[in-house]
Structure 1
């Protein structure tokens, strides 16, 4: 039995060290400061600075929608690297961030909670790096109207 366990451990180490094996992480995201439980929370996780925060043309972006009554979601098996998260509170559930004269009427938030002045932050301001088995990001929602 002990020999079988040793062989299994050796095989696992060999598989991880093979060329092409990709280290992965699990990411927990907590969303706070939602003003209501109406609608959906829409989350975009991307590693592409050119498609942040919209993620529209990013084939590799991971998007999720959860009811606004939930404040936690999990991404499993992400390759190590740099990412950024954009979140909107789609209160009327129309699948977009509603604006009035360019000002968001619904809530929004970003990984690392960067300050927001005119327009969304750059990817670099919201960027975080996955380097271990598990990580956590806390996104604080903001409302301007």
Structure 2
């Protein structure tokens, strides 16, 4: 009987260790204010200021086809931590955020945080504390 209890306890422990949900939770970006249902949506997730400001080495980056004016983009299972998100709507599907002759973005973009300014936010303005499955709103601006 004692060995059976140990075997059950060991099996339970090993099963829980193998389960990714024990170590990570899902982060979903809810992208709102999509003006036209066309092109692609890019969402990038960063875990430090330098990469966020340079748009380099995201923790993850997702590209999805735009099929609605509000879209949920799963960034997958992630460990707890501090993150910041950026998104843009690549309306013409050329793989980049386009800019006008004046240097202003000509396609919609946004970030996590509450900034309503057209200027790019800092990492501190956009960062979120992530520790459990959650949704983060990103309102696209242009």
> Fold conserved (TM > 0.5)?
yes
1:55 & 1:81 partners in 2: Cα distance? Answer: 19
Aligned partner of residue 37 in structure 2, secondary structure: coil
Deviations 1:34-75 (A, max 9, x none): 00011111111110211215532x1x5211111111511112
Deviations 1:6-47 (A, max 9, x none): 54334456x49xxxxx83221111111100011111111110
Aligned pairs (5 A) from 1:126-141: 126-132=126-132, 134-141=133-140
Equivalent in the alignment of 2:80? 80
1:96 & 1:53 partners in 2: Cα distance? Answer: 16
Equivalent in the alignment of 2:29? 29
Contact 1:53 1:85 in 2 (8 A): no
Shift of 1:131: 1.3
TM-score, with normalisation over the residues of structure 2?
Answer: 0.80
Structure 2, unmatched stretches of 5+, are: none
Equivalent in the alignment of 2:65? 67
Aligned partner of residue 103 in structure 1, secondary structure: coil
Aligned partner of residue 11 in structure 2, secondary structure: helix
Structure 1, unmatched stretches of 5+, are: 17-21
Deviations 1:65-96 (A, max 9, x none): 11111511112221111001100011011111
Relative to its length, the structure with more helix (as a share) is: 2
Contact 1:53 1:86 in 2 (8 A): no
Q: Go from structure 1 to structure 2 and tell me whether the alpha carbon gap of 1:54 and 1:42 turns closer, same or farther (over 3 Å shift).
A: farther
Over the aligned positions, Cα root-mean-square deviation in angstroms equals: 2.3
**Number of residue pairs matched?**
132
